[in-house]
Amino acid sequence: MATETYILDVARIRADFPILQREIRPGVRLIYLDSTATAQKPLAVIEAMDRYYRWSNANIHRGVHTLGEEATALYEAARQRVARFIRARKAREIVFTRNTTEAINLVAYAWGRSQLRTGDLIVLTEMEHHSNLVPWQILAAEKNIRLEFVPVTEAGYLDLETYEHLLDQSPRLVAFTHMSNVLGTINPVREMAEKAHRAGALVLVDGAQSVPHLRVDVQALGVDFLAFSAHKMLGPTGIGALYAREDLLEQMPPFLGGGDMIKKVMLRTFTPNDIPYKFEAGTPAIAEAVGLEAAVAYLEEVGMEAIEAHERGLIAYALERLATVPGLKIYGPVADHRGGVVSFSMEGVHPHDVAQLLDREGIAVRAGHHCAMPLHEKLGLTATTRASFYLYNTYEEVDRLVEALHKVRAIFE
């Protein structure tokens, strides 16, 4: 059983999350181990969005009345907060999108379609989420560009030797995940970005899993694009962000056409708005931006370094305890090189059966290919079961997970 000393005051943090007080069935308390899919929301986020709808609900950038000015100020305050959180040079380098997926699509459509030519090369990896594969596949088919992939080793790392050989082919873009949503692998972004830039390539990083859990500094990492989602970092669904260098945003054409992304419209022509607004057509997710600002404030108050340290302790303990379950195979690197994610298979038991039986114990995990079918194919699997941890999870919950997995093993034996 767990005897570790907590780095965070987890009991106090858990009290901020109403859903964690829920019982799935009478006497069966919820153990939420699916934060990689979406994180739970603290009261601070729920109340901030409620307060906006109760007191300041109006459209932004248009009205000069009090509510319109309040809503605009709240929306732009969220942009400022997000920019500071990831250490962007300017708030105008933050474009609000629906999620990580839309942010990557924005780059593919606006930058890729305007800058890439037939025969150009994009380097991706075998561990990418579909959101960082399919947009480039669509672009490759449309513009006849090449896609090459950095392999994943048996230990769950990127093959950096092959990466360097691919860089010798002068790619225009390198796009990869900061942290794998299946293996938990934390990739060496700064090293990879430096090498890509020396080869003349731009760098896009999928930060959906890293921004919620690690201290991410876009200037220190040296990335050109970073995409992430609010709902994975304690915020609401329906809003995410794209960080892009100011000069790149200036050269990119608009992604969507409509209101607010224009300065002037005539019958046959239009003049686009300044950045970042030329990429934010129509009424945006205002309440969601308010919620995102509150989520970032909450994470900053807790401290990203403390969150990362807590999760490192949890994942190390989880890997040690899970190794006691007969027939269970864990995928990915050692604890020192992974985030709070562990995907596994159990001999003779389908991952969905594992997840359903764990749910009887109140334990919420994910089963499937986790939007990473090529990676599962590389592993020789159709699916895995995945448990993921965040700042509100405890060592005791790891123990409960392991106890429940022993029960699953016993049922199938």
Give the active site residues.
371
- Distance of alpha carbon 42 from alpha carbon 294, whole angstroms: 9
Q: Are 318 and 258 in contact (CB under 8 A)?
A: no
- Distance of alpha carbon 379 from alpha carbon 371, whole angstroms: 14
First to last CA, the chain: 25
